Amino acid sequence: MNNQKYSSSKLFGIYRRMFPFVSPYLPRLLLGLICGILYGGSTFGLIIVLRFALGGLIGEEFSGDNPFSLMSTPEGNASELELSRIICTLFLLPGVAVIQGSVSFAGRYFVEWSGSRVITDLRQALYAHMHALPIQFFTGSRVGELMTRISSDTGLLMALVTNVIGDLMKDPFTLIGCIAAMFYLDWQLTLIILVVFPFCLVPIALFGKRIRLASKVGQVQMGDMFSLAQEGLTGAMVVKAFQREQDEVNRFGYSNLQVFKQSMRQLRARAITEPILFLLISFGLAGVLYYAFVNDISLALIVSFFAATAQMYKPFKKLSQIHLRFQTAAPGAERVFEILDREIEITDDPQAVELRLPIQTIELNGVSFGYDDKLVLDDIDLKVESGKCVAFVGSSGAGKSSLVNLVPRFYDVLNGSVKINDQDVRSLKVESLRSHIGIVTQDTILFNRSVAENIAYGVPSASIDDVVDAAKRANADSFIQKMELGYDTIIGERGSRLSGGMAQRITIARALLKNPPILILDEATSALDTESERLVQRALDELMKDRTVLVIAHRLSTIANADHIVVLEQGQIIEQGTHEYLLKQNGKYRYFYELQFQPND
């Protein structure tokens, strides 16, 4: 893990990346800044008014140069002077307080609204960018960790943008207003207080690094905990079958405890700064009292200074912790921008064109492909004619899935080309290419939405009649009609409320409604019982009619009627032909066939 300290320049570089997200809301932030300036001015006025009012309460005489000299009367006219002080107390103090409260509310609203919009846009951009990344990104990432980026990491930035930026737009002006009022009342007394304040920066420097490291480690541990929880909940059936509930609970408990311990380390480092700040400020107040005692300062002035100091404490404490708060959020910002910086590998060429129809051929010419420095496909040559069914056979890791995933351009080849109708898929618009390809996978992917929404996922504009027709052709309408809400029934996450056969027929209906000329099947019946397999196979037969079909075969009985069978081994084509032809060759295909169909000795 990278534990390097975030220098001020690096922090600036990290947060500068957020400017494109902030810039649309600069007008509102400017209004927040104006409110902050007005708040500082009202703070100045409040302290001066308080000083004048307190002087009246204790019978203190004012010289002609006091800030309310226009309200003063010639010496001896005590009743009018007293009246002016009463008016000051009754009207000016509440009036200034109302102004201060109003601009505080308005400023906080403008800043927090803008900050929330910034994070909303950032979270949306992050999620959209994830969807634009290649399939390899998802296969190499844990879902729990990605969820942490979207939730916790952006949450750290939310706290930073809404709270810290708001403080920066108000608190400096509050301090300026307080200090200006104090200098106006007694500059010597003010200097005593200000001498102490720089020492308050010492604990910030001491504990800043500790907070930064605790925050960064904590975010990583939070991602680990989410991943572990998702893994355990997704595999709940296996957990129960092997009676490992307590083990999973214990694993989560240990991870949860590590998150707690890390948060406590951060809390201790953060919490200890406040009492140290309070202690240092107390020394400053003690100095004020000593100065007042020695120089016979009036009670009204002392109380006014204490009020000003109290007004200064909270903004000064916040501002003194600004660097720590930036340090705390920096790991989250880094993790978010680490995703946003990932290259979108599959993009449209500037001269990209639409896929020409009808489909005539799919060709792989000298195709090589790999990832993570591992060659998965090596010099593949293959031609698929329109309307033909081609099946791919091979051991696990032979390259079957990688090969078919090159056709919809989920990956790009390293060498060679994949062509449809003599058009390189890299020269086609991705949307046009994929709109003509349907996919039915062995692992059914459904969404926690209604049956109708899942079937119409590829054609959102489809009518309910079209949805029902697709379901009927997929042998799914009968069980859908028996559901409580029919086509409006919510089927649960990943179709959890459906049986395996039902879920597969929904995915087949989804592909039928899309009506693509090219179909990719990752043998969809291998995990089903006999009755479900029969129903799903009938639906698949309907789906495969008049289409160019690429099948990843797991059981050879399902591909005996394929027009062409390709046998892969270690990323190379070692055999190809019809079912009967390959059996006669006494090669790898026959070996696989005998493994599946000959009884064990």
Which H/E stretch holds residue 331?
helix 322-340
Query: Is the pLDDT confidence value at 169 over 70?
Result: yes
Burial class (CB in 10 A: 0-12, 13-18, 19+), 156: buried
Residue among 204, 199, 550, 195 nearest 393 (CA):
550
Q: Which domains does the chain have, with CATH numbers?
A: 23-340 (1.20.1560.10), 447-515 (3.40.50.300)
Query: Is the pLDDT confidence value at 390 over 90?
Result: yes
**CA–CA distance, 310 with 302 (Å, rounded to integer):** 12
What is the reported pLDDT for 403? 93
Q: Any alpha helices (H) in 492-587, and if so which ranges?
A: 500-514, 530-544, 579-585
What is the reported pLDDT for 176? 92
**CA–CA distance, 331 with 127 (Å, rounded to integer):** 18
Query: Is the pLDDT confidence value at 327 over 90?
Result: no
DSSP string, 258-289: HHHHHHHHHHHHHHTHHHHHHHHHHHHHHHHH
What is the reported pLDDT for 62? 46
**CA–CA distance, 368 with 490 (Å, rounded to integer):** 43
pLDDT per residue over 183-230, tens digit each? 988 888 788 777 766 666 666 656 666 666 666 677 677 777 877 777
- Written as six digits, the tokens of 519 are 């179909």
**CA–CA distance, 149 with 333 (Å, rounded to integer):** 9
**CA–CA distance, 171 with 162 (Å, rounded to integer):** 14
DSSP for residue 549: E
Residue among 97, 87, 86 nearest 57 (CA):
86
**CA–CA distance, 468 with 513 (Å, rounded to integer):** 9
The residue assigned the tokens 């209604």 is 450
Residues in the chain: 601
Query: Is the pLDDT confidence value at 335 over 50?
Result: yes
Q: Are 525 and 544 in contact (CB under 8 A)?
A: no
Q: Are 571 and 398 in contact (CB under 8 A)?
A: yes
Q: Are 158 and 120 in contact (CB under 8 A)?
A: no
Q: Are 550 and 357 in contact (CB under 8 A)?
A: no
Weakest mean pLDDT among 45-59, 387-401, 446-460, 522-536? 522-536
Mean pLDDT of 570-599: 87
Return the C-alpha torsion angle 593, 594, 599, 601, nearest 10: -150
Higher pLDDT, 67 or 526: 526
Query: Is the pLDDT confidence value at 143 over 50?
Result: yes
pLDDT per residue over 109-119, tens digit each? 999 899 888 88
Residues 137-142: contacts with CB under 8 Å, at least 24 apart: 137/342, 140/372, 142/223, 142/227, 142/230
Weakest mean pLDDT among 21-35, 499-513, 524-538, 550-564? 524-538
- Count of CB atoms within 10 A of residue 173's CB? 22
- Written as six digits, the tokens of 260 are 């707690």
Could you tell me how far CA 30 lies from the centroid of its own chain?
27
pTM (two decimals): 0.74
Mean pLDDT of 561-573: 91
Mean pLDDT of 122-151: 83
What is the reported pLDDT for 63? 45
pLDDT per residue over 43-87, tens digit each? 898 888 888 777 655 555 544 344 444 344 444 455 555 666 666
pLDDT per residue over 231-286, tens digit each? 777 666 566 655 677 787 888 888 888 888 877 877 777 777 677 767 776 776 77
Mean pLDDT of 143-163: 81
The residue assigned the tokens 């698929």 is 384
Query: Is the pLDDT confidence value at 102 over 90?
Result: yes
What is the reported pLDDT for 601? 47
Mean pLDDT of 349-377: 90
Mean pLDDT of 296-315: 80
DSSP string, 177-212: HHHHHHHHH-HHHHHHHHHHGGGGGHHHHHHHHHHH
β-partners of residue 368 are 415
Q: Are 166 and 115 in contact (CB under 8 A)?
A: yes
* Backbone dihedral region for residue 347 (phi beyond 0: left; psi -120 to 50: alpha; all else: beta): beta
> For the chain, what is the mean pLDDT?
81
β-partners of residue 419 are 363, 424
Directed axis angle between helix 202-234 and helix 273-294, to 10°?
Answer: 150
β-partners of residue 569 are 572
Higher pLDDT, 497 or 452: 452
What is the reported pLDDT for 422? 92
CA atoms within 13 A on the CB side of 367: 31
CA torsion sign for 409, 410, 414, 416 is negative
Q: Are 534 and 501 in contact (CB under 8 A)?
A: no
Query: Is the pLDDT confidence value at 32 over 70?
Result: yes
Mean pLDDT of 445-454: 88
The residue assigned the tokens 């160019």 is 548
Higher pLDDT, 331 or 23: 23
Q: Are 404 and 550 in contact (CB under 8 A)?
A: yes
What is the reported pLDDT for 215? 67
**CA–CA distance, 320 with 274 (Å, rounded to integer):** 10
Query: Is the pLDDT confidence value at 405 over 60?
Result: yes
**C-alpha pair distances (Å), 571 with each of 126, 289, 389, 395, 407:** 35, 84, 21, 10, 16
Q: How confident is the model at residue 417 (pLDDT cuts 50, 70, 90)?
A: very high
Weakest mean pLDDT among 41-50, 415-424, 517-526, 568-577? 517-526
Mean pLDDT of 304-317: 80
Q: Is 47 helix (H, G, I), strand (E, B) or coil?
A: helix
Q: How confident is the model at residue 313 (pLDDT cuts 50, 70, 90)?
A: confident
- Count of CB atoms within 10 A of residue 480's CB? 25
